[in-house]
Structure 1
């Protein structure tokens, strides 16, 4: 587990400011979702945290250490699973730890079993469904040595029922590890169901518009989607996003 501090981040491309003086903190073991209009810079922020870009100004701190422009400090799962087609499932999930010289295939086997992938260890990505490939990608993130995970709309390509099953699975697996997670989604219900806190970003350029502390206890139950309180939260967050369009 770890704490991430995003401090006064500004980033421009071709003289267009995408992120402006953006600041927030993710605490140890916290699951935080980012919501905002399309093009509000959510994926750009992930690339900055991961060190793929450098900000024009501002810094990132992980457990007090400055990681601005530094690669390899976090585990990042993009929208597509990004599995290597020539590697088996188990070889894909140990890749992150393999890069650091510490692959543990026994631990990987246990995690795959928890993910409902027992028997698929030696299958190749093309032999798996979309939901199964996403599970493999997330297990890879959990097995990577980094303590902070960024998830960029990992369920956006899935149908509604598969998406809900993946959300439940994610909460179950995450609850056993409690890594700090920053999760990007466009789906308000998904953000409420998964998160301890939701950060709403404005656009043109992106700044923190508002934060919502989600009060539902853990473990989360699927039935919470049908409660009046859940609907109230959905309406309030929807109204906040609507004025940003």
Structure 2
């Protein structure tokens, strides 16, 4: 179960108030995206959930257990894939499980194949394209034992075509595994296409301005990106973001 509850989180660095009374949840098996203006504290929020930093006040619960300052509770994929250059694709995806004493090579090979990386099991990161590296990083997250996966703008460095292909791939893999995902992005289309809910943060000090429940049925096809309904929802989210800019 991957239920996350962020309750009244506040965080400052010196005189800079970054987060102020942030509240939201991620339900088990849910895909939730966070949108906010640049510098609104989205990455800081991930650092707090991941136990890298402590909030000044408030509580973070995962599966009803408080995880303030507790490292290793979530699987975290930053903007860069952060693969170990001296480890092969197979060894990289097994890393998260190895850290906690789990080694499921059969499952790893199945997911590598599902990710379109069959034949690259023994390749090294420098031999892969950007999109391939991101697939390896996400497979590593799926094989890690933590119930919640946090993805911090994983496709921001990719070109538009590769980005859409990665979004479709991520959605198909997620629907098969149904892990809880918290996803940070600056891209409204991406957030809407992938998510069950979209959380909009305000400018600093960030708080939750509004939550949008995305109504489109799954599995989703890229054709919805061009529909009038999709555009109407995009306009509503854009208005929430632009009011702060």
Which band: TM-score by shorter chain? over 0.9
The residue number in structure 2 matching 1:10 is: 10
The residue number in structure 1 matching 2:216 is: 216
Secondary structure of the residue aligned to 2:45 is: helix
The residue number in structure 1 matching 2:200 is: 200
Alignment RMSD = 0.6
The residue number in structure 1 matching 2:227 is: 227
CA deviation after TM superposition for structure 1 residue 20, in Å: 0.6
The residue number in structure 2 matching 1:144 is: 144
TM-score with structure 1 setting the length: 0.99
The residue number in structure 2 matching 1:131 is: 131
The residue number in structure 1 matching 2:27 is: 27
Secondary structure of the residue aligned to 1:80 is: coil
Deviations 1:151-207 (A, max 9, x none): 000000000000000000000000001111100000000000000000000012000
Deviations 1:10-59 (A, max 9, x none): 00001211001111111111100000000000000000000000000011
2:163 & 2:204 partners in 1: Cα distance?
A: 30
Q: Does 1:72 align with 2:72?
A: yes
Deviations 1:47-78 (A, max 9, x none): 00000000000111011011110000000000
The residue number in structure 2 matching 1:175 is: 175
Secondary structure of the residue aligned to 2:98 is: helix
1:224 & 1:183 partners in 2: Cα distance?
A: 20
1:103 & 1:40 partners in 2: Cα distance?
A: 38
Secondary structure of the residue aligned to 1:223 is: helix
Secondary structure of the residue aligned to 2:69 is: coil
Q: Which runs of 4+ in 1 moved over 6 A?
A: none
TM-score with structure 2 setting the length: 0.99
1:154 & 1:204 partners in 2: Cα distance?
A: 23
2:163 & 2:149 partners in 1: Cα distance?
A: 19
2:7 & 2:69 partners in 1: Cα distance?
A: 14
Count residues in correspondence.
Answer: 245
Q: Give structure 1 stretches of 5+ with no counterpart.
A: none
The residue number in structure 2 matching 1:97 is: 97
The residue number in structure 2 matching 1:186 is: 186
Deviations 1:62-98 (A, max 9, x none): 1101111000000000000000000000000000000
Secondary structure of the residue aligned to 1:200 is: strand
1:117 & 1:204 partners in 2: Cα distance?
A: 41
The residue number in structure 1 matching 2:87 is: 87
Secondary structure of the residue aligned to 1:69 is: coil
